[in-house]
Amino acid sequence: MLALDNATRLMKRLRITWTQVSLDEVACAFGRCPFCGPSAFVRLYADSVGVRCIRCFATAVHMSLGFALRSHVPNLDACSVCELSARGPLAAHLARHARSVALSEYFTDISLGAVRGGVRCEDVQHLTYADASFDVVTHTEVLEHVPDDRRALAELRRVLRADGIMLFTVPLHGRVRTLERARPCAGSIVHLQPPAYHRDPLRGGAGILAFRDYGVDIVERLLAAGFTRAWVESPPKVAWDHGRNVVIARCSDTTGWRGHRQVGRHAGRGVPVGLPGG
Protein backbone atom coordinates (compact mmCIF):
# COMPACT_ATOMS: atom_id res chain seq x y z
CA MET A 1 0.00 0.00 0.00
CA LEU A 2 2.88 2.31 0.89
CA ALA A 3 4.59 1.51 -2.42
CA LEU A 4 1.36 2.33 -4.23
CA ASP A 5 1.09 5.64 -2.38
CA ASN A 6 4.69 6.50 -3.27
CA ALA A 7 4.15 5.58 -6.91
CA THR A 8 0.99 7.69 -7.05
CA ARG A 9 2.80 10.62 -5.47
CA LEU A 10 5.73 10.27 -7.89
CA MET A 11 3.38 10.19 -10.89
CA LYS A 12 1.60 13.30 -9.63
CA ARG A 13 4.93 15.12 -9.16
CA LEU A 14 6.09 14.15 -12.64
CA ARG A 15 2.80 15.32 -14.13
CA ILE A 16 3.02 18.66 -12.28
CA THR A 17 6.66 19.08 -13.28
CA TRP A 18 5.91 18.30 -16.93
CA THR A 19 3.22 21.00 -17.04
CA GLN A 20 5.84 23.53 -15.88
CA VAL A 21 8.54 22.62 -18.42
CA SER A 22 9.66 25.36 -20.80
CA LEU A 23 11.09 23.57 -23.85
CA ASP A 24 13.24 26.59 -24.81
CA GLU A 25 15.00 26.42 -21.46
CA VAL A 26 15.62 22.67 -21.21
CA ALA A 27 19.33 21.87 -20.77
CA CYS A 28 21.65 19.42 -19.01
CA ALA A 29 24.93 19.92 -17.12
CA PHE A 30 27.22 17.97 -14.83
CA GLY A 31 28.01 19.10 -11.31
CA ARG A 32 28.03 18.19 -7.64
CA CYS A 33 24.90 17.69 -5.58
CA PRO A 34 25.33 18.15 -1.79
CA PHE A 35 23.10 15.12 -1.23
CA CYS A 36 24.31 12.74 -3.98
CA GLY A 37 27.86 13.84 -4.83
CA PRO A 38 28.79 13.89 -8.54
CA SER A 39 25.62 14.08 -10.57
CA ALA A 40 23.92 15.60 -13.58
CA PHE A 41 21.42 18.43 -13.51
CA VAL A 42 18.54 19.20 -15.81
CA ARG A 43 17.05 22.65 -16.24
CA LEU A 44 13.31 22.38 -16.88
CA TYR A 45 12.60 26.11 -16.78
CA ALA A 46 14.59 29.25 -15.95
CA ASP A 47 14.18 29.33 -12.19
CA SER A 48 16.11 27.82 -9.28
CA VAL A 49 13.12 25.56 -8.61
CA GLY A 50 13.31 24.42 -12.25
CA VAL A 51 16.87 23.09 -11.90
CA ARG A 52 16.94 19.48 -10.64
CA CYS A 53 19.50 16.86 -9.72
CA ILE A 54 18.62 13.82 -11.80
CA ARG A 55 19.58 11.45 -8.97
CA CYS A 56 17.59 12.85 -6.03
CA PHE A 57 15.34 15.37 -7.85
CA ALA A 58 16.56 18.17 -5.53
CA THR A 59 15.95 21.68 -6.81
CA ALA A 60 18.74 24.26 -6.83
CA VAL A 61 17.03 25.74 -3.75
CA HIS A 62 17.34 22.45 -1.86
CA MET A 63 20.94 22.08 -3.00
CA SER A 64 21.86 25.60 -1.78
CA LEU A 65 20.49 24.70 1.65
CA GLY A 66 22.34 21.38 1.46
CA PHE A 67 25.69 23.11 0.80
CA ALA A 68 25.13 25.49 3.73
CA LEU A 69 24.13 22.60 5.97
CA ARG A 70 27.34 20.75 5.15
CA SER A 71 29.41 23.85 5.97
CA HIS A 72 27.71 24.89 9.20
CA VAL A 73 26.56 21.57 10.67
CA PRO A 74 29.42 19.14 10.07
CA ASN A 75 28.22 16.95 12.94
CA LEU A 76 24.72 16.35 11.60
CA ASP A 77 24.77 12.78 12.89
CA ALA A 78 24.88 14.17 16.45
CA CYS A 79 22.01 16.63 15.95
CA SER A 80 18.27 16.60 16.41
CA VAL A 81 16.71 18.47 13.50
CA CYS A 82 13.34 20.10 12.83
CA GLU A 83 12.46 20.46 9.13
CA LEU A 84 9.23 22.16 8.11
CA SER A 85 8.37 19.69 5.39
CA ALA A 86 7.92 15.94 5.31
CA ARG A 87 8.82 15.17 1.71
CA GLY A 88 11.52 15.90 -0.81
CA PRO A 89 15.28 15.38 -0.97
CA LEU A 90 16.18 17.60 1.99
CA ALA A 91 13.79 15.76 4.30
CA ALA A 92 15.14 12.44 3.00
CA HIS A 93 18.75 13.54 3.55
CA LEU A 94 18.00 14.61 7.13
CA ALA A 95 16.14 11.36 7.82
CA ARG A 96 19.20 9.39 6.68
CA HIS A 97 21.96 11.42 8.32
CA ALA A 98 20.70 13.33 11.39
CA ARG A 99 20.60 11.74 14.84
CA SER A 100 16.86 12.41 14.81
CA VAL A 101 14.53 14.48 12.67
CA ALA A 102 11.04 15.89 13.16
CA LEU A 103 9.29 16.31 9.81
CA SER A 104 5.95 18.05 9.48
CA GLU A 105 3.44 19.62 7.11
CA TYR A 106 0.63 22.08 7.74
CA PHE A 107 -2.76 20.43 7.24
CA THR A 108 -5.83 22.62 7.62
CA ASP A 109 -8.22 19.81 8.57
CA ILE A 110 -6.55 18.07 11.50
CA SER A 111 -5.37 19.26 14.92
CA LEU A 112 -1.91 20.68 15.43
CA GLY A 113 0.40 17.96 16.69
CA ALA A 114 -1.80 15.20 15.22
CA VAL A 115 -0.28 12.70 12.80
CA ARG A 116 -1.65 11.71 9.39
CA GLY A 117 0.01 9.05 7.28
CA GLY A 118 3.08 9.27 9.48
CA VAL A 119 3.34 13.05 9.01
CA ARG A 120 2.85 15.42 11.93
CA CYS A 121 0.68 18.50 11.49
CA GLU A 122 2.45 21.70 12.55
CA ASP A 123 1.73 25.40 12.08
CA VAL A 124 5.04 27.28 12.31
CA GLN A 125 3.20 30.13 14.07
CA HIS A 126 2.02 27.75 16.83
CA LEU A 127 4.47 24.84 17.07
CA THR A 128 3.54 22.02 19.44
CA TYR A 129 7.16 21.03 20.13
CA ALA A 130 8.56 21.64 23.62
CA ASP A 131 11.03 24.44 24.28
CA ALA A 132 14.66 23.69 23.35
CA SER A 133 13.83 20.48 21.48
CA PHE A 134 16.26 20.81 18.55
CA ASP A 135 19.87 21.56 17.64
CA VAL A 136 19.04 22.55 14.05
CA VAL A 137 16.00 23.96 12.24
CA THR A 138 15.72 24.03 8.45
CA HIS A 139 13.09 25.21 5.98
CA THR A 140 13.00 26.24 2.32
CA GLU A 141 10.67 28.78 0.72
CA VAL A 142 8.19 28.68 3.63
CA LEU A 143 8.44 31.93 5.56
CA GLU A 144 7.23 34.28 2.81
CA HIS A 145 3.92 32.35 2.82
CA VAL A 146 3.37 32.60 6.60
CA PRO A 147 0.87 35.32 7.63
CA ASP A 148 2.70 36.27 10.88
CA ASP A 149 6.39 35.61 10.24
CA ARG A 150 7.54 37.41 13.42
CA ARG A 151 5.54 34.97 15.51
CA ALA A 152 6.90 32.08 13.42
CA LEU A 153 10.49 33.21 13.97
CA ALA A 154 9.88 33.49 17.74
CA GLU A 155 8.44 29.97 17.73
CA LEU A 156 11.42 28.60 15.79
CA ARG A 157 13.81 30.26 18.26
CA ARG A 158 11.81 28.79 21.17
CA VAL A 159 12.18 25.19 19.98
CA LEU A 160 15.95 25.57 19.38
CA ARG A 161 18.50 24.80 22.08
CA ALA A 162 20.78 27.50 23.49
CA ASP A 163 23.52 26.70 20.95
CA GLY A 164 21.13 25.93 18.11
CA ILE A 165 21.27 27.10 14.51
CA MET A 166 18.63 27.73 11.86
CA LEU A 167 19.31 27.62 8.11
CA PHE A 168 16.64 28.52 5.57
CA THR A 169 15.86 30.02 2.20
CA VAL A 170 13.39 32.66 1.09
CA PRO A 171 13.41 34.57 -2.20
CA LEU A 172 15.32 37.79 -1.43
CA HIS A 173 14.61 39.71 -4.65
CA GLY A 174 17.78 41.82 -4.19
CA ARG A 175 15.87 44.14 -1.85
CA VAL A 176 17.20 45.95 1.21
CA ARG A 177 13.82 46.47 2.92
CA THR A 178 11.07 43.88 3.07
CA LEU A 179 7.92 44.69 1.09
CA GLU A 180 4.71 43.59 2.82
CA ARG A 181 2.34 42.33 0.13
CA ALA A 182 -0.59 41.15 2.24
CA ARG A 183 -1.66 40.73 5.84
CA PRO A 184 -4.36 38.78 7.66
CA CYS A 185 -7.26 40.81 9.03
CA ALA A 186 -10.34 39.50 10.86
CA GLY A 187 -10.28 36.10 9.22
CA SER A 188 -9.62 37.51 5.78
CA ILE A 189 -6.58 38.75 3.86
CA VAL A 190 -5.94 42.39 3.01
CA HIS A 191 -3.80 42.83 -0.10
CA LEU A 192 -1.39 45.76 0.11
CA GLN A 193 0.13 44.92 -3.29
CA PRO A 194 -1.18 42.97 -6.28
CA PRO A 195 -1.40 39.32 -5.13
CA ALA A 196 1.69 37.26 -6.01
CA TYR A 197 1.61 33.48 -6.04
CA HIS A 198 4.69 31.27 -6.05
CA ARG A 199 4.92 27.97 -7.88
CA ASP A 200 4.45 24.90 -5.75
CA PRO A 201 6.60 22.18 -7.35
CA LEU A 202 4.97 19.49 -5.20
CA ARG A 203 1.31 20.44 -5.45
CA GLY A 204 0.99 22.47 -8.64
CA GLY A 205 -2.27 24.35 -8.87
CA ALA A 206 -2.51 28.11 -8.77
CA GLY A 207 0.48 28.50 -6.45
CA ILE A 208 0.79 29.85 -2.91
CA LEU A 209 0.18 33.44 -1.86
CA ALA A 210 3.32 35.37 -0.87
CA PHE A 211 2.66 37.63 2.11
CA ARG A 212 5.89 39.56 1.55
CA ASP A 213 9.01 40.01 -0.57
CA TYR A 214 11.92 39.82 1.85
CA GLY A 215 14.91 42.11 1.84
CA VAL A 216 18.19 41.55 3.66
CA ASP A 217 16.58 43.32 6.63
CA ILE A 218 15.22 39.85 7.39
CA VAL A 219 18.23 39.61 9.74
CA GLU A 220 16.67 42.35 11.87
CA ARG A 221 13.54 40.21 12.29
CA LEU A 222 15.72 37.29 13.35
CA LEU A 223 17.51 39.37 15.99
CA ALA A 224 14.15 40.71 17.23
CA ALA A 225 12.95 37.10 17.55
CA GLY A 226 15.77 36.30 19.96
CA PHE A 227 18.56 35.01 17.72
CA THR A 228 21.97 36.37 18.67
CA ARG A 229 23.54 36.40 15.21
CA ALA A 230 22.00 36.33 11.75
CA TRP A 231 23.36 36.78 8.26
CA VAL A 232 22.84 35.94 4.61
CA GLU A 233 25.39 34.00 2.62
CA SER A 234 25.76 32.67 -0.87
CA PRO A 235 26.64 28.98 -1.25
CA PRO A 236 28.19 27.77 -4.52
CA LYS A 237 25.91 28.18 -7.51
CA VAL A 238 24.54 24.82 -8.60
CA ALA A 239 24.38 25.25 -12.38
CA TRP A 240 23.46 27.97 -14.87
CA ASP A 241 24.06 30.45 -12.03
CA HIS A 242 21.00 29.13 -10.18
CA GLY A 243 20.77 28.73 -6.44
CA ARG A 244 19.46 30.60 -3.42
CA ASN A 245 21.14 32.74 -0.84
CA VAL A 246 20.80 31.02 2.52
CA VAL A 247 19.79 32.83 5.71
CA ILE A 248 21.56 31.60 8.83
CA ALA A 249 20.73 32.45 12.44
CA ARG A 250 22.48 31.28 15.59
CA CYS A 251 21.04 31.28 19.09
CA SER A 252 24.36 31.92 20.82
CA ASP A 253 27.34 34.10 20.09
CA THR A 254 29.90 31.33 20.23
CA THR A 255 32.43 31.32 17.42
CA GLY A 256 32.15 27.62 16.73
CA TRP A 257 29.57 24.89 16.50
CA ARG A 258 30.30 22.42 19.29
CA GLY A 259 34.02 22.68 18.74
CA HIS A 260 33.90 22.88 14.95
CA ARG A 261 35.28 25.84 13.07
CA GLN A 262 32.72 28.27 11.81
CA VAL A 263 32.92 28.30 8.04
CA GLY A 264 30.68 31.18 6.96
CA ARG A 265 32.83 33.90 5.44
CA HIS A 266 30.09 36.49 5.71
CA ALA A 267 29.32 35.96 9.38
CA GLY A 268 28.90 39.10 11.39
CA ARG A 269 27.29 40.15 14.60
CA GLY A 270 23.80 40.77 13.37
CA VAL A 271 25.07 42.62 10.33
CA PRO A 272 22.99 42.14 7.19
CA VAL A 273 25.08 41.22 4.20
CA GLY A 274 23.56 42.60 1.03
CA LEU A 275 23.61 40.01 -1.72
CA PRO A 276 21.89 40.41 -5.04
CA GLY A 277 19.04 38.19 -6.12
CA GLY A 278 17.33 35.38 -4.28
Site membership for Zn ion, residue 55 (CB under 5 A): yes
Burial class (CB in 10 A: 0-12, 13-18, 19+), 158: middle
Q: Are 264 and 73 in contact (CB under 8 A)?
A: no
Cα–Cα dist 118/116, whole Å? 5
Site membership for Zn ion, residue 36 (CB under 5 A): yes
Instruction: Give whichever of 67 and 129 is closer to Zn ion, judged by the CB atom.
Output: 67
Q: Are 203 and 244 in contact (CB under 8 A)?
A: no
**Span interacting with Zn ion, options 54-62, 91-99, 216-224, 238-246, rule CB under 5 A:** 54-62
Question: What are residue 14's phi and psi, to 5 degrees?
Answer: -65, -40
- Least distance between Zn ion and beta carbon 140 (Å): 15
Instruction: Give whichever of 62 and 139 is closer to Zn ion, judged by the CB atom.
Output: 62
3-state DSSP assignment of residue 46: coil
Instruction: Give whichever of 29 and 132 is closer to Zn ion, judged by the CB atom.
Output: 29
- Least distance between Zn ion and beta carbon 98 (Å): 17
**Span interacting with Zn ion, options 29-37, 76-84, 171-179, 207-215, rule CB under 5 A:** 29-37
- Least distance between Zn ion and beta carbon 190 (Å): 41
- Strand order across the beta sheet in which 37-43 lies: 27-33, 37-43, 51-53
**Span interacting with Zn ion, options 30-38, 96-104, 128-136, 209-217, rule CB under 5 A:** 30-38
Residues 131-170 binding Zn ion (CB under 5 A) are: none
Q: Are 229 and 270 in contact (CB under 8 A)?
A: yes
- Least distance between Zn ion and beta carbon 9 (Å): 18
Site membership for Zn ion, residue 33 (CB under 5 A): yes
- Least distance between Zn ion and beta carbon 83 (Å): 17
- Least distance between Zn ion and beta carbon 52 (Å): 8
> For Zn ion, which residue of 51, 53, 90, 239 counts as binding (CB under 5 A)?
53
**Span interacting with Zn ion, options 48-56, 64-72, 175-183, 226-234, rule CB under 5 A:** 48-56
Site membership for Zn ion, residue 56 (CB under 5 A): yes
Q: Are 159 and 131 in contact (CB under 8 A)?
A: yes
Beta-carbon count within 10 A of 184 CB: 11
Instruction: Give whichever of 36 and 208 is closer to Zn ion, judged by the CB atom.
Output: 36
Q: Are 46 and 25 in contact (CB under 8 A)?
A: yes
- Backbone CA torsion sign across 215, 90, 198, 226: negative
Site membership for Zn ion, residue 35 (CB under 5 A): yes
- Least distance between Zn ion and beta carbon 246 (Å): 17
Question: How many residues make contact with Zn ion (CB under 5 A)?
Answer: 7
Cα–Cα dist 176/194, whole Å? 20
Question: What are residue 29's phi and psi, to 5 degrees?
Answer: -155, 155
3-state helix, strand and coil shares in percent for the chain, rounded to the nearest 5 = 25, 30, 45
Instruction: Give whichever of 56 and 232 is closer to Zn ion, judged by the CB atom.
Output: 56
**β-sheet bridge partners, residue 137:** 82, 166
Chain contacts with Zn ion (rule: CB under 5 A): 33, 35-36, 53, 55-56, 58
